[in-house]
Amino acid sequence: METSTLITFIVYLLGMLLIGVLSYRLTSNLSDYVLGGRRLGPGVAALSAGASDMSSWLLLGLPGYAYAAGMDALWICVGLSVGAYLNWQFVAKRLRSYTEVAKDSITIPDYFENRFHDKSKLLRIISAFVILIFFTFYTSSGLVGGALLFQESFGMSYNQALWIGAIVIIAYTFLGGFLAVSWTDFIQGILMFLALIVVPIVAIQKLGGWNQTVSTVAEIDPSYLNGLDGMGFLAIVSLVAWGLGYFGQPHIITRFMAIRSIKDIPKARFIGMSWMVIGLIGAIFVGFAGIAFFADNPLIVGDVDNSEKVFIFFTDVLFHPIVSGILLAAILSAIMSTIDSQLLVSSSALAEDFYKAIFKKNASDKELVTVGRIGVLVIALIAIVLAIQSNPANENASSILDLVSYAWGGFGAAFGPVIILSLFWKRMTRNGALVGILVGALTVIIWKPLTGGLFDLYEIVPGFLFGLIIIVIVSLFGKEPSKEIQKEFDKAKAAK
Amino acid sequence: METLTAATWFWLLVPMPLVVVLSLISLIKERGGE
C-alpha cells in the first residue's frame, strides 16, 4: 500500500476516535449512553439507521454477489428497499411514541416489559438473551470482514488485522456510547454513499461507457443481463424475504426510538430511503462493472473466490492513492458503523435487562454506564474469539454472509412479528409475545441446517409466519389485556 | 446491441425508486398538513 493511502486511512481512524472522546464528555446517564437522550435530528437518525443496517455487506457482499451472479442480485435489493420503507412508514412513528408512553423505555426488552406490564421479568430476560446470542454472531461476522480488509490492504496476518480493527472499534464505542456511534455513523454513511456513486461511474467510464460495459458482460455470459435467468420461485421469495428482517433488528429500530420528535420522521424516512436505494443500485453496478473490468483476470477461479473483494480491487486500480485511502476507509466505515451499534445494543441488554433487572434494581446511572461499558468489552471479546475461529483459511469456517443471514433471520423472526403486533394490535397479550419470540427464534435455529425442497427457503419466512400465527392464537385464547394497558395503547396511537 | 432485459430494467428501476417517491410524497403531504 502506498504511504499516502495509509496516511489518509489513519487520519480517518483518528477522526473517528476524536468523536468518541468528545461524545464521552456529553454522556452523563444510561439514557444518554444508549439512546443519546432522544435528541437525534432527522439527518443523523436516517443515515445512522442506514449505516448501522448495511455493514460491509453493502460494499463487499452485494458487489461480490452481483459480480458472481449478474443482475440476479437485484432481488435482495428490492426486498430490502421495500422492507426498510415499510419499517420507516409504519413502525418508526408508533415505536417512537409507544416507547415514550411505556415508561420511557430505552431498549427493546425494556419496551416489551413495559408494553405488556410484565412483572415476571421473563419477557425482558428472554428477549435480552436472544439479543446477546444473535448479536455475538453478527458482531463476529463484522470483525471477520474488518480483518479481511486490513489483511488485504496492509499485508498483515489475519489475527493481527483482526485485533487492530477490533481495538479501534471497541475504543470509541466504549468511550462515547450512542452519541459517538450515531455521529460516526452519520459521517460513515456519507462516505459509503459517495463511494457507491463514484466507483461504478468511474469504472464504467474506464470501460468505454455503458454500452461497451454491457457488451463485454454479454460476451462473457448473456445470462448476467437477465435478473430472472435461472431464478426459481423459492430463490426469489428467499431473497425478497430479507425485507421482513427489518421489523426486528434492534440496532436499526433503536434509531427510531432515539429520534428527537415524531415530526422529524417523514424527513428522516425520505433521507434514509434515498440513501439506501442509491447505495444499493450503486453496489449492484460495482459488481456488474467488475464482470467486464476483470474479464481478463477473473476474481473467481476454481475454488478461489475473491468476488467480495471487487470493490477493494477497484479502489486500487482506478484511483489516486489518497482517494483510494478514503474509499478503503469507506469499507471500514461500513463495518464499524454496524458493529458499534450492535455492541451498544448488546451492552444495554446486559446493563439494563440483566444487571438492573435481576441483580441490582436500584443501580445508579453511573453504575449502569460502567456496566454497559464493561459489557461492550466482554461481548467484543467473545466475538473476537468466534472471529478467530472463522478465519477463512480454516476448514469448515462459516462465511461472513452465512453468519449475517443467520443473525438477520433470527432477529427478524423472533422480534419482527412481536414488534409489529405490539404496536398495532391492542388485544395482544404478554404470553402471546413470549411464545412469539421463542417460536420465531427456534424456527430459525431448527430450519437453518435442514436442506432440500421447502427447506431451501430462507428461514426468516417460516420463522416470521409461525411467530405471527402463534402470537395471534395465544393472545386470543388468553385474558384480554388490562384497561391500563389498553389506555396506554390508545395514548401511543394518538401521539402526533 | 446487447442490453439488460426489459424485466430486469423494470425490477431494477421501478420498485426501489418508487419507495423514494412515496417517501417524498408523504413528506410533502405531512408538511402541508402542519
For residue A225, count other CB atoms closer than 10 A to its CB.
18
pLDDT of amino acid A397: 65
pLDDT tens figures, A136-168: 888 888 888 888 788 877 888 889 989 988 887
* Chain B residues inside the 8 Å CB shell of A240: none
Give the pLDDT confidence of A170-182 residue by residue, as tens digits: 776 666 566 667 7
Q: End-to-end distance of chain A based on CA atoms, in angstroms? A: 53
Q: ipTM value of the model?
A: 0.94
**Interface contact B26-A273, CB threshold 8 A:** no
pLDDT classification of A360: cutoffs 50, 70, 90: confident
Average pLDDT, chain A: 87
Q: Look at residue A4 and tell me whether its pLDDT is greater than 90.
A: no
Residue A468 pLDDT: 98
pLDDT value at residue A286: 96
Q: Does the pLDDT at position A408 exceed 90?
A: yes
Residue A480 has pLDDT above 80, yes or no: yes
Spell out which residues of chain A touch residue B2, defining contact as CB-CB under 8 Å. Answer: 214-215, 217-218, 222, 225
Long-range contact pairs involving A94-97 (C-beta distance under 8 Å, separation at least 24): A94/A423, A94/A424, A94/A492, A94/A493, A95/A253, A95/A256, A95/A257, A95/A419, A95/A423, A96/A256, A96/A257, A96/A259, A96/A262, A96/A265, A97/A262, A97/A492, A97/A495
Q: How far is CA A307 from CA A17, A69, A72, in A?
A: 31, 10, 15
pLDDT tens digits along A320-350? 888 888 888 878 777 877 887 788 788 888 8
Range A148-156, long-range pairs (CB < 8 A, 24+ positions): A148/A309, A148/A392, A149/A56, A149/A60, A149/A312, A149/A328, A149/A331, A149/A332, A149/A335, A152/A309, A152/A312, A153/A1, A153/A9, A153/A312, A153/A328, A154/A1, A154/A6, A155/A1
Cell of residue A324, nine digits: 483510494
DSSP state at residue A305: E
A74 at the B interface (CB within 8 A)?
A: yes
A232-263 pLDDT per residue, tens: 899 999 999 999 999 999 888 988 998 989 99
Distance CA A169, CA A341 (A): 10
- Judge whether A45 and A259 are in contact, CB under 8 Å: yes
Over 80: is that where the pLDDT of A303 sits? no
pLDDT band at A288 (very low <50, low <70, confident <90, very high): very high
Among residues A430, A473, A409, A454, which one has the least CA distance to residue A233? A454
Judged by a CB distance cut-off of 8 A, whether residue B33 touches chain A is no
pLDDT at A39: 78
What pLDDT does residue A32 have?
Answer: 63
pLDDT at A168: 75
Cross-chain Cβ contact A226/B19 below 8 Å: no
Name A386's bridge partners: none
Measured over the CA atoms of residue A323, residue A325, residue A328 and residue A334, the dihedral's sign is negative
Beta carbons of B23 and A81 less than 8 Å apart:
no
Taking only residues 6 to 25 of chain B, the set having a beta carbon closer than 8 angstroms to any beta carbon of chain A reads 7-8, 11-12, 15-17, 19-20, 22-24
**Chain A, window 253-272: residues with a beta carbon less than 8 angstroms from a chain B beta carbon:** 263, 266-267, 269-270
* CB proximity list for B21: less than 8 A, separation 6 or greater: none
Dist. CA A476–CA A460, nearest whole Å: 24
Chain B positions touching A284 (Cβ under 8 A) are 12
* Mean pLDDT across A412-418: 98
Confidence bin at A81 (pLDDT 50/70/90): very high
Chain B CB within 8 Å of residue A214 CB: yes
As a whole number, mean pLDDT of residues B6-17 equals: 93
C-alpha torsion sign, points A82, A145, A385, A27:
negative
* pLDDT of B26 over the 70 cut: yes
